[in-house]
A and B are shown apart, each in its own frame.
Chain A
Amino acid sequence: MTERFMLSRRDLLKTSAAGAALGLASASFPISRAFAAAVTVGFIYVGPKDDYGYNQAHAEGAATLKAIEGISVVEEENVPETVDVQKTMESMINLDGASLIFPTSFGYFDPHMLAMCEKFPDMQFRHCGGMWNKDKHPMNAGSYFGYIGMGQYLNGVAAGHATKTKKIGFVAAKPIPQVLLNINSFLLGARSVDPAITCQVIFTGEWSLAVKEAEATNALVDQGADVITCHVDSPKVVVETAAGRGAFICGYHANQSPLAPEKYLTGAEWNWAKVYKMFVDDLVAGKPMPNFTRGGLADGFVKMSPLGPAVSEAARAQFDGTLAEMMKGGFSVIKGPLKNNKGDVVATEGQTFVEAAIELESMDYLVEGVVGSTA
């Protein structure tokens, strides 16, 4: 028992030094107020910051925070989803003085971020994805995500007009709910143009495997798919391979049109700058930050790439019409009657799931018309 009250020498030194500095500063230097307002925010990425994809989207959001006075940003890239990320979080807190951390990759959450939440109860952690649950997880944690499935639906609209073979393709990493919703949305968007369209999906099993993604893209084109999109961390390889084989592309995560300007139809992009600024504003103002943050096209969390030159007039009209509908709110991608690709009913006649429906965050099926399996 006595051990609990013992202070290590290092802690004692740290505390007294900090106390002395604080006392000294507040007594004699007015500058201390500026320090008090200074906030350090940590960002952790699973891959390189400029990957034309997931990490680039986050890093662009983080970059806008750097411009705000009193905010400093620390970043670390290429951090694996292992105990390494715990070390990164600890060093961001202990060495860099970060008080808010964004571990941006799916696999950082459990158990790594949860362990850190317990160890540092005064620090705030917000995870990108849909994992946080208020009954199970600590209150200094939280999750934020955007309804990018809507963007994939719009991708599907553009794809539905562009496809001649009535077959479109999707290169996916892992069958988690967000990915499944994107695949389903892409197909349903295309089916809003022509209900005969099918979507072939290939799972690569990892977020970033360049050679396998290229093989998957080639296999899809070999089987007649003529519009390809993807949900992998870096769509660069998929975009370049598909364009090289003459297929059209719908982008994801960030704008990849410079890689294939002629073949790029449109793309679903993140706009994290808006989300990060919201969190940091709350933190600076001393307000409690939300634990559960979601938003879509209307909230500015998600945006679409400008339509490419291959998009027809008819496609453009339907795209703009659907987008306007979504901006009004209440648009449902998943609506009954709808079956999954095993023939079970997932939405009955008249049943609709709006973008914010929490059921969508535990999606475990592929809808009718998607050729593929979740396991």
Chain B
Amino acid sequence: MDATEIGLWGVPLAVLGGAIRVSTPFIFVSLGEAITERSGRINLGLEGTLVFGAMTAYAVAVMTGSPWLGLLAAAAAGLCFGLFHGWICKFRGVNDIAIGIALMLFGSGLAFFFGKPFIRPSAPDLPAIPFGGWSDIPQVQAALNVNVLFLIGAALAVFLWWAFRNTRAGLILRVVGDSSDAARAMGLNPNTVRLIATGIGGALAGIGGAYLSLYYPGSWTEGISSGQGLMAVALVIFARWNPLGCFAAALLFGGAGALGPALQSVGVTQGYYLFYAAPYILTLVIMIATSSPSRSLAGAPGELSITK
């Protein structure tokens, strides 16, 4: 076999590579949202946080020459957005969904405003670890170039899954999310817990943004997110608020998104618009397959405004 001709093997390889490359922002945003929603609040503003994080990371990386400082700055910016959301929502009569939408628009707008001078310069990328060294095929090597953030995201998903069940912090989070009254009776302040949860959620979304601008696709443009932050929020519901489910759903979305270009590249060119709809069709199919009238919102935190 010619090393440059991999033919139909390109499709599964592209889906695998795409799952690894494209999924990382979904992983971080959905894990962040899972933490926030487990505390009983919805932060729809993570799309804005993602875009602002992407811009901040890129700008700081351009100015300092260090992608890690960019990553840190993006996390800090995301934290600020999250804390702001958490702080406003503690006031009586404030709707967390409306604030989220406002922050989404605000975050994107602010990112476009500050991001103008950074569209042209090139920033250093975050490093990737080559796991494909065992193979002689350059395509396999390219697909298995795994960014450290993906690995961190995977570890974080497992850690959160464990921590929600087995740690005191996880218990506090779940109590606050399921019943404010019970939490108050235990002497907990739901607002403080939610403030912290939303802040952490924002920081994770900021890291997701840094991945977009500093690794894949690896440049700052205003259309960089194209709605990934919103989709990741939806993934949390799809994943039933389970961190491992979030990770799996993100991989599924990434892999299905790579299907369209990969099929065209091997000559399956008819109906590519249909293949581009694959992630959404897949979501719909799984939603229908797993739905049941008796346990419709199983796993949903009781304090969430969509379940109240």
Q: Select from chain B the residue with minimum beta-carbon distance to A53.
A: B221
Shortest Cβ gap from A259 to chain B (Å): 7
B258 near A215: Cβ-Cβ < 8 Å: yes
A205 near B276: Cβ-Cβ < 8 Å: yes
Stretch touching chain B among A7-15, A234-242, A321-329: A234-242
Note all chain B residues with C-beta closer than 8 A to A202: 261, 264-265
Residue in B122, B257, B270 whose CB lies within 8 Å of A373: B270
B223 at the interface (CB under 8 A from A): yes
B219 near A240: Cβ-Cβ < 8 Å: yes
B183 at the interface (CB under 8 A from A): no
Using A213-B217, A222-B265 as known contacts, say yes or no to A375 and B270 having CB atoms under 8 A apart.
yes
Residue in B122, B257, B269 whose CB lies within 8 Å of A259: B122
A223 near B10: Cβ-Cβ < 8 Å: yes
Note all chain A residues with C-beta closer than 8 A to B6: 222-224
Shortest Cβ gap from B242 to chain A (Å): 25
Q: Select from chain A the residue with minimum beta-carbon distance to B228.
A: A211
What's the Cα separation between A213 and B270 when bound, in Å? 19
Note all chain A residues with C-beta closer than 8 A to B159: none
A48 at the interface (CB under 8 A from B): yes
B5 at the interface (CB under 8 A from A): yes
Note all chain B residues with C-beta closer than 8 A to A218: 14, 17-18, 21, 142, 261
Note all chain B residues with C-beta closer than 8 A to A234: 221, 223
Interface of A is mostly: mixed
User: What is the 8 Å Cβ interface bit string for chain B, positions 130-170, against chain A (1 contact, 0 not)?
Assistant: 00000000010011000000000000000000000000000
Shortest Cβ gap from B39 to chain A (Å): 30
Note all chain B residues with C-beta closer than 8 A to A272: none
B112 at the interface (CB under 8 A from A): yes
Using A47-B223, A237-B221, A371-B269 as known contacts, say yes or no to A222 and B120 having CB atoms under 8 A apart.
no
Note all chain A residues with C-beta closer than 8 A to B187: none
What's the Cα separation between A241 and B215 when bound, in Å? 10
Chain B 273-308 residues near chain A, CB threshold 8 A: 273, 276
Using A210-B226, A219-B261, A236-B219 as known contacts, say yes or no to A50 and B4 having CB atoms under 8 A apart.
no
A214 near B116: Cβ-Cβ < 8 Å: no
Shortest Cβ gap from A106 to chain B (Å): 16
Note all chain A residues with C-beta closer than 8 A to B22: 211, 215
B272 near A219: Cβ-Cβ < 8 Å: no
A220 at the interface (CB under 8 A from B): yes
Interface residues on A, range: 35 or more
What's the Cα separation between A372 and B260 when bound, in Å? 13
A48 near B221: Cβ-Cβ < 8 Å: yes
B87 at the interface (CB under 8 A from A): no
Q: Select from chain A the residue with minimum beta-carbon distance to B143.
A: A222
A215 near B221: Cβ-Cβ < 8 Å: no
B217 near A210: Cβ-Cβ < 8 Å: yes
B102 at the interface (CB under 8 A from A): no
User: What is the 8 Å Cβ interface bit string for chain A, positions 195-218, against chain B (1 contact, 0 not)?
Assistant: 000001111110011111111101
Q: Select from chain A the residue with minimum beta-carbon distance to B224.
A: A210
What's the Cα separation between A28 and B188 when bound, in Å? 78
Q: Select from chain A the residue with minimum beta-carbon distance to B140.
A: A222
Note all chain A residues with C-beta closer than 8 A to B93: none
Using A222-B10, A223-B10, A373-B269 as known contacts, say yes or no to A215 and B261 having CB atoms under 8 A apart.
yes
B216 near A223: Cβ-Cβ < 8 Å: no
What's the Cα separation between A220 and B276 when bound, in Å? 17
B13 at the interface (CB under 8 A from A): yes
What's the Cα separation between A51 and B116 when bound, in Å? 10
B10 near A47: Cβ-Cβ < 8 Å: no
Q: Select from chain B the residue with minimum beta-carbon distance to A234.
A: B221
A245 at the interface (CB under 8 A from B): yes
What's the Cα separation between A211 and B266 when bound, in Å? 19
Q: Select from chain A the residue with minimum beta-carbon distance to B265.
A: A219
Chain A 75-90 residues near chain B, CB threshold 8 A: 78
Shortest Cβ gap from B261 to chain A (Å): 4
What's the Cα separation between A223 and B271 when bound, in Å? 20
A52 at the interface (CB under 8 A from B): yes
User: What is the 8 Å Cβ interface bit string for chain B, positions 11-29, against chain A (1 contact, 0 not)?
Assistant: 0011001100110000000
What's the Cα separation between A78 and B224 when bound, in Å? 13
Closest 10 A-B residue pairs measured CB to CB? A373-B269, A219-B265, A214-B217, A224-B4, A216-B261, A219-B261, A202-B264, A208-B223, A237-B217, A222-B139
14 pairs, CB–CB < 8 Å, chain A vs chain B: A48-B119, A210-B212, A210-B219, A211-B212, A215-B257, A215-B258, A216-B265, A218-B18, A223-B266, A224-B6, A236-B219, A237-B218, A240-B218, A240-B219
- Chain B residues with CB under 8 Å of chain A are 4-6, 10, 13-14, 17-18, 21-22, 112, 116, 119-120, 122, 139, 142-143, 212, 216-219, 221-224, 226, 228, 257-258, 260-262, 264-267, 269-273, 276
